[in-house]
């Protein structure tokens, strides 16, 4: 089964815009009106999805939830991106909203304001969804106390029994990389907010670019969060994230799906930089884990808008959010004992 979320020209344009935005010799060049299928940096963050994208996504939304919610549920979607800004963020937010509305599984509030993450406001929610947040997405550079309060509020929210779900760039947050690395002196990759890095499952180090065909295997065919997938796995074209080896471990998370590395072409394997290449060939795509009394779900795909038109992908997101809310029960014990 090949899910071809192509958008090749848009993805190439995104790279071009990103290069222009980060070049010290050129001013920031922002994409034209209607641009989608990639990411930018240094440009105003668009906070709306295009109608055609919403319509295509809505056609993929399931009719009913996997389980009936135990009570009225509320989800807060945060789409603030401080580093790279994915054009799919507004569509990811709308996906969560329409999933809740159509299935009746939850009610949704969408915000791009990090100030919404505070102890008092979070009392009304059962889960927070991070829509490709990047960088220090909770930080207020002018108010250290506010930053620390937001961080504490999110950690306490999850540990106390609530849920956290994240998609794609939710793992491209709070990490650093030393510059000027060579083959003999690889870069030092480090998390800058270790509690969050562990809670979300790891932090980003490399991705296969659009349009790379990635074979995905089903690590836990018995999980209700994988009920929409064939046990043989599937293939997808998207920007596929990988994590720094020391930041991700199956001893902490329960892996749902992962890159079928044995089936990945030698050419694509060779694209990963040798000086930070994983030595275990273990590239998780989606997983869940318990954090304190709470639950976390993460899916690494979701870069390109066309991925949100895929029925199995959207159904997987529904199941994952229902798990994070505490309604869909699943084995979340670590994959590696």
Residues 6+ apart with CB under 8 A from 182: 275
The confidence score (pLDDT) of residue 32 equals 86
pLDDT range class, residue 180, cuts 50, 70, 90: low
The confidence score (pLDDT) of residue 266 equals 94
pLDDT in tens, 181-227: 666 677 889 999 999 999 999 999 999 998 899 999 999 999 999 99
The confidence score (pLDDT) of residue 183 equals 63
Cβ neighbours around 206 below 10 Å, total: 17
Say how far apart CA 179 and CA 3 lie, in whole Å.
Answer: 36
pLDDT in tens, 252-305: 999 999 999 999 999 999 999 988 899 999 999 999 999 999 999 999 999 999
With beta carbons less than 8 A apart as the criterion, state whether 276 and 244 touch.
Answer: yes
Beta bridge partners of 286: 257, 299
Check whether 125 has a pLDDT greater than 50.
yes
Check whether 10 has a pLDDT greater than 50.
no
Check whether 9 has a pLDDT greater than 50.
no
- Cis check for the bond before 28: say yes or no (omega within 30 of 0): no
The confidence score (pLDDT) of residue 181 equals 63
In words, the CATH class of domain 61-177+186-325 is alpha beta
Cβ neighbours around 205 below 10 Å, total: 23
Nearest CA-CA partner of 315 in 119, 99, 48, 15? 99
Say how far apart CA 41 and CA 34 lie, in whole Å.
Answer: 16
Higher pLDDT, 25 or 314: 314
Say how far apart CA 279 and CA 244 lie, in whole Å.
Answer: 11
Residues 6+ apart with CB under 8 A from 32: none
Please report where in the chains the tokens 């902490």 appear, as a residue.
252
Check whether 18 has a pLDDT greater than 70.
no
Q: Are strands 74-78 and 254-259 parallel, antiparallel or unpaired?
A: unpaired
For the CA atoms of 100, 84, 153, 121, the dihedral, rounded to the nearest 10 degrees, stands at: -50
Say how far apart CA 117 and CA 123 lie, in whole Å.
Answer: 10
Task: Output the CA angle 21-26-29, nearest 5 degrees.
Answer: 45
Q: What percent of the chain has pLDDT over 90?
A: 81
How many Cα neighbours within 13 Å face the side chain of 138? 22
Say how far apart CA 124 and CA 105 lie, in whole Å.
Answer: 16
Check whether 8 has a pLDDT greater than 50.
no
Q: Are strands 204-208 and 213-218 parallel, antiparallel or unpaired?
A: unpaired
pLDDT range class, residue 5, cuts 50, 70, 90: very low
Check whether 43 has a pLDDT greater than 70.
yes
The confidence score (pLDDT) of residue 26 equals 65
Check whether 13 has a pLDDT greater than 90.
no
Mean of all residue pLDDT scores within the chain: 91
Beta bridge partners of 39: 86
């Amino acid at each position: 089964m090949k899910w071809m979320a192509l958008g090749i020209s848009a993805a190439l344009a995104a790279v071009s815009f990103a290069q222009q935005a980060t070049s010290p010799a050129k001013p920031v060049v922002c994409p034209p009106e209607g641009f989608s299928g990639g990411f930018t940096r240094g440009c105003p963050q668009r906070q709306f999805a295009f109608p055609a994208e919403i319509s295509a996504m809505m056609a993929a939304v399931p009719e009913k939830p996997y389980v009936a919610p135990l009570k009225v549920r509320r989800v807060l979607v945060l789409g603030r991106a401080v580093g790279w800004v994915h054009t799919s963020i507004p569509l990811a937010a709308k996906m969560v909203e329409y999933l809740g509305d159509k299935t009746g599984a939850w009610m949704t509030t969408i915000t791009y304001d990090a100030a919404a993450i505070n102890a008092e406001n979070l009392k009304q929610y059962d889960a927070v969804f991070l829509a490709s947040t990047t960088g220090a997405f909770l930080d207020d550079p002018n108010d250290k106390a506010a930053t620390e309060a937001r961080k504490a509020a999110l950690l306490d929210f999850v540990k106390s029994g609530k849920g956290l779900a994240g998609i794609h760039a939710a793992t491209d947050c709070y990490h650093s990389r030393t510059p000027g690395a060579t083959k003999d002196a690889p870069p030092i990759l480090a998390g800058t907010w270790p509690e969050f890095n562990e809670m979300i499952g790891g932090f980003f180090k490399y991705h296969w670019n659009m349009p790379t065909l990635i074979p995905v295997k089903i690590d836990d065919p018995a999980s209700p969060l994988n009920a929409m997938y064939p046990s043989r796995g599937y293939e997808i074209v998207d920007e596929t994230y990988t994590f720094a080896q020391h930041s991700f471990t199956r001893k902490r998370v329960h892996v749902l799906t992962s890159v079928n590395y044995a089936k990945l072409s030698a050419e694509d394997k060779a694209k990963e930089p040798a000086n930070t290449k994983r030595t275990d060939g273990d590239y998780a795509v989606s997983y869940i884990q318990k954090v304190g009394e709470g639950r976390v779900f993460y899916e690494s795909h979701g870069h390109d808008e066309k991925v949100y038109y895929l029925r199995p992908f959207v159904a997987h997101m529904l199941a994952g959010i229902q798990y994070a809310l505490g309604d869909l029960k699943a084995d979340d014990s670590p994959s590696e004992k």
